[in-house]
Amino acid sequence: MANNKNFSVIGTRPPRVDAAEKVTGRAKYGSDAQLPGMAYGKVLRSPHAHARIVSIDTHAAESLPGVYAVVTSADLLSAEERAARVAAEDWGFLAACDQTLAHDKVLFAGQPIAAVAARTPTLAEQALALIAVEYEVLPAVVDVLDALRDDAPLLHPGLRTRSLAAPSEQPSNVAVYAQQLKGDPAQGFAEADVIVEREFRSLMVHQGYIEPHVSTAEWNADGKLTIYADTQGLFAVRDQVVWLLRLPMSDVRVTPLEVGGAFGGKNNSYVDVVAALLARKAGRPVKVTMGRADTFLGTGPSSGTVIRLKLGATREGRIMAAQAALYYEVGAYPGSLAGSGAHVMFGPYVFPNAQVDCYDVVVNKPPTASYRAPGGTPATFAMEALVDELAEKLGLDPLDFRLLNSVRNGSEDLDGDLYHHIGGVEVLEAAKAHPHYTAPLAGPNRGRGVAHSYWGNWGARSSCTITVNPDGTVGLVTGSVDITGTRTSVAMQAAEVLGLPLERVKSSVGDTDSIGYSDVSAGSRTTLATGTAAIRAAQDVIAKMSARAATIWEVPAESVTYQNGVFAVAADAEKRFTFAELAAQLPNTGNTVIGVANVDVGEWGASFAAHIVDVEVDPETGKTTLLRYTAVQDVGKAIHPSQVEGQIQGGTVQGIGWALYEGYVYNEAGQMLNANLLDYKLPTALDLPMIDPVLVEVPFPGHPFGVRGVGESPILPPPGAIANAIARATGARMTQLPMTPAHILKQMGKI
């Protein structure tokens, strides 16, 4: 199919199937859930970054008229159950409980302590203020390097560093340590003519979805629970609720509503279990809505980082060796992101010799979660800034230097795995050929920068059913939440296979009772993997309808063909049904047919991106203005080119925010100082030029149409590209994200 260029649906730009509902305000989001008798839930959070909970007194809150329920950790786990879990050393379960409602200790400011359900949101807020919590405040550790010191406060006295070797003997704040070694780095640096080395830092950043997390829970009289969720994964919510509340899976139905942005941050469930606990205790449906401060403090941001990087190259421009140490804050509970960062930053180029040390470090900050290309953006920033400096020192064009060292099909990555079917070189060549790269850039304090990136993408499990209606339309249902337009891009693939116009394919997302297991809509996987499920389900429809036609015509099933929307038998021109004609026959010839596919896509294609940006830096204030932006990316095959462009534009702008504006600011006690959208600045329309997306199509052969994931790649290059443009504009190299005016002036030697 990949060779068939005569697509009728693939590659077109129809309005997305959810457009009309969304532009009229009728689309129902998680926060729009309204049920009869519904109460409003709010969560009390710790103001302290590290403290022992001495006591929680909820009596005054419970006595307030209009308050229906107050819950604490005791409602999640009784003392006996807790003791049993402790005896069983079930630390993962206990940590998940503590992150839902803390038991005896808080490890970050914003950790949930208690929750209230009341008649109105105002009453719920008033009740929260009546809950008296006594804390014994403990010393907090906020900075990733401070957490490594011998005298640092330990967050988890039982935490031993996990690595390929045996767990560490001493408790530590290092959750995971990993080292990658390739070749002989010392020898490689000895053979290098030019060596550059820098330390890069970045702050925690938030996904910044505009709709805060929300969950509405309703218990039926038969003890079954329904959750109206705001999530990237209906099954992820079900699994979390079933796990923590110890319920049979069949007792919990999760219905996903529209999602107001997610970007990885809604893979995790934060308020679903709390809503279920409140609803059970209150005996009525409860909607728990986070506010914006709750969202900053109580959900998972992306890691703050320190990355030390050293690169060496020959005079001719061949990279000989790299040495890197990546220190990633994983927040208050063990996690792992540094390894992903290393994989991403070393992805674009050939490194004959390298040593990479990765440290995932716990600190008294919110536990981190995925954010678009998890772990990759600060790492790509470090690599691209230093690669650019190396090219400059060698007197080489920055794209030529990258092309010279670019991975190609058959190149080895740091693990010794080989690259296949990649488009890295094609992307770099397209960037070089783009008029932007050679356009004159006149004027003082201006500079042009480029950066390149690699992202691996994902496949995994998806399910799809397609039901044929008697009028020749079909109903397509998947288990993949649609946040970006995937209802449309998945339906387009089914329509192409079925030979139907898109309008005849009604595309929707099911609930956990009605569709097979599907992984979260994340990792740029949905158009690839759920698209594959849709293609297989469509093929199943055609096979079943062909069999039905064979029965009606009394011919062997294998003699029936389906082409250009027509079922036919080659030997007999009389035997001919259009899709709609055969669909009309189905009810009276044995009932309808449903095409079904449950897939686990084990192969996916990596994605490369190269960005070009022009900036102007005000030498007095350090303010950076973006003048022009071009984003080149290998997209495999663009099913819906406008949606692919939208992914590139949106991801690029998130990367621009990371580059110039965004970051969690903490005081020494571990309290966030900018937990609002005034002091934590997201890019606005006024801060940006048009983002010009350039789609390079190098098909991924593992997908019938050549699809590659496209969502995550574009966030990776902007910080490096902008840093390199600022370097050309000012002569100063940037080493920190965000590149605030203060940092720029400092690097320029002005302050």
Q: Give dist(CA 520, CA 707) in Å, integer.
A: 18
Task: Give yes or no for residue 645 binding other proteins (CB under 8 A).
Answer: yes
Strands (DSSP E) contained in 636-728 are 691-696
Contacting residue, 9, 10, 31, 403, with other proteins by CB under 8 A: 31
Task: Give yes or no for residue 677 binding other proteins (CB under 8 A).
Answer: yes
- Please give the residues from 127 up to 156 whose contact with other proteins meets the rule CB under 8 A: none
Task: Give yes or no for residue 23 binding other proteins (CB under 8 A).
Answer: yes
Q: Compare residues 115 and 257 and give the one whose CB is closer to other proteins.
A: 257
> To 5 degrees, how large is the angle CA 456–CA 660–CA 194?
65
Q: Compare residues 214 and 698 and give the one whose CB is closer to other proteins.
A: 214
The CB-of-125 to other proteins minimum distance in angstroms stands at: 10
**8 Å CB contact between 732 and 749:** yes
Of the ranges 29-37, 141-149, 395-403, 553-561, which one interacts with other proteins (CB under 8 A)? 29-37
Q: Give dist(CA 144, CA 174) in Å, integer.
A: 10
The CB-of-546 to other proteins minimum distance in angstroms stands at: 36
DSSP code, position 685: G
DSSP code, position 167: P
Query: β-strand 105-106 against 51-57: which pairing, if any?
Result: antiparallel
The CB-of-563 to other proteins minimum distance in angstroms stands at: 32
Task: Give yes or no for residue 24 binding other proteins (CB under 8 A).
Answer: yes
Task: Give yes or no for residue 22 binding other proteins (CB under 8 A).
Answer: yes
Of the ranges 431-439, 453-461, 548-556, 675-683, which one interacts with other proteins (CB under 8 A)? 675-683
**8 Å CB contact between 617 and 623:** yes
Q: CB-based burial of residue 1 (10 Å sphere; 0-12 exposed, 13-18 middle, 19+ buried)?
A: middle
Contacting residue, 16, 280, 310, 448, with other proteins by CB under 8 A: 16
From residue 517 to residue 556, the character string flagging contacts with other proteins as x (rule: CB under 8 A) and all else as - is: ----------------------------------------
Report CA 460 to chain centroid distance, whole Å.
Answer: 15
Task: Give yes or no for residue 18 binding other proteins (CB under 8 A).
Answer: yes
SS3 assignment, position 508: strand
Closest among 403, 326, 331, 391 to 362, alpha carbons compared: 331
Contacting residue, 5, 6, 26, 55, with other proteins by CB under 8 A: 26
Of the ranges 9-17, 194-202, 620-628, 723-731, which one interacts with other proteins (CB under 8 A)? 9-17
> To 5 degrees, how large is the angle CA 594–CA 597–CA 601?
165
**8 Å CB contact between 206 and 680:** yes
The CB-of-456 to other proteins minimum distance in angstroms stands at: 23
The CB-of-62 to other proteins minimum distance in angstroms stands at: 17
Task: Give yes or no for residue 564 binding other proteins (CB under 8 A).
Answer: no
Task: Give yes or no for residue 379 binding other proteins (CB under 8 A).
Answer: no
Of the ranges 18-26, 147-155, 180-188, 342-350, which one interacts with other proteins (CB under 8 A)? 18-26
**8 Å CB contact between 504 and 474:** yes
- DSSP class per residue in 646-661: HHHHHHHHHHHHHHHT
Q: Compare residues 65 and 602 and give the one whose CB is closer to other proteins.
A: 65
Integer angstrom CA distances of residue 446 from 290, 299, 439, 618: 42, 38, 13, 9
Of the ranges 99-107, 432-440, 593-601, 648-656, which one interacts with other proteins (CB under 8 A)? 648-656
Q: Give dist(CA 470, CA 679) in Å, integer.
A: 56
Task: Give yes or no for residue 686 binding other proteins (CB under 8 A).
Answer: yes
Residue with tokens 């896509």: 601
The CB-of-506 to other proteins minimum distance in angstroms stands at: 17
Contacting residue, 209, 381, 458, 664, with other proteins by CB under 8 A: 209
Contacting residue, 10, 32, 114, 596, with other proteins by CB under 8 A: 32
Task: Give yes or no for residue 13 binding other proteins (CB under 8 A).
Answer: yes
Sign of CA dihedral 72, 77, 80, 86: negative
Of the ranges 20-28, 318-326, 340-348, 530-538, which one interacts with other proteins (CB under 8 A)? 20-28
Of the ranges 78-86, 140-148, 651-659, 729-737, which one interacts with other proteins (CB under 8 A)? 651-659
Q: Give dist(CA 534, CA 596) in Å, integer.
A: 8
Residue with tokens 């006996």: 80
* Overall residue count recorded for the chain in this entry: 751
- 175: enclosing H helix or E strand: strand 174-182
Q: Compare residues 269 and 488 and give the one whose CB is closer to other proteins.
A: 488
Q: Compare residues 247 and 688 and give the one whose CB is closer to other proteins.
A: 688
The CB-of-651 to other proteins minimum distance in angstroms stands at: 8
- Please give the residues from 263 up to 282 whose contact with other proteins meets the rule CB under 8 A: 263
Backbone phi, psi, residue 245, to 5°: -95, 0
Residues 6+ apart with CB under 8 A from 78: none
Bridge partners (DSSP) listed for residue 376: none
The CB-of-633 to other proteins minimum distance in angstroms stands at: 14
Q: Compare residues 31 and 323 and give the one whose CB is closer to other proteins.
A: 31
Q: CB-based burial of residue 563 (10 Å sphere; 0-12 exposed, 13-18 middle, 19+ buried)?
A: exposed
Q: Compare residues 30 and 670 and give the one whose CB is closer to other proteins.
A: 30
- Please give the residues from 459 up to 498 whose contact with other proteins meets the rule CB under 8 A: 483-485
Residues 6+ apart with CB under 8 A from 275: 41, 215, 216, 217, 227, 286, 287, 288
Interacting residue ranges for other proteins, rule: CB under 8 A? 13, 15-16, 18-29, 31-32, 34, 65-66, 120-122, 207-212, 258-263, 289, 291-292, 483-485, 642-643, 645-646, 649-654, 676-678, 682, 684-688, 690-691
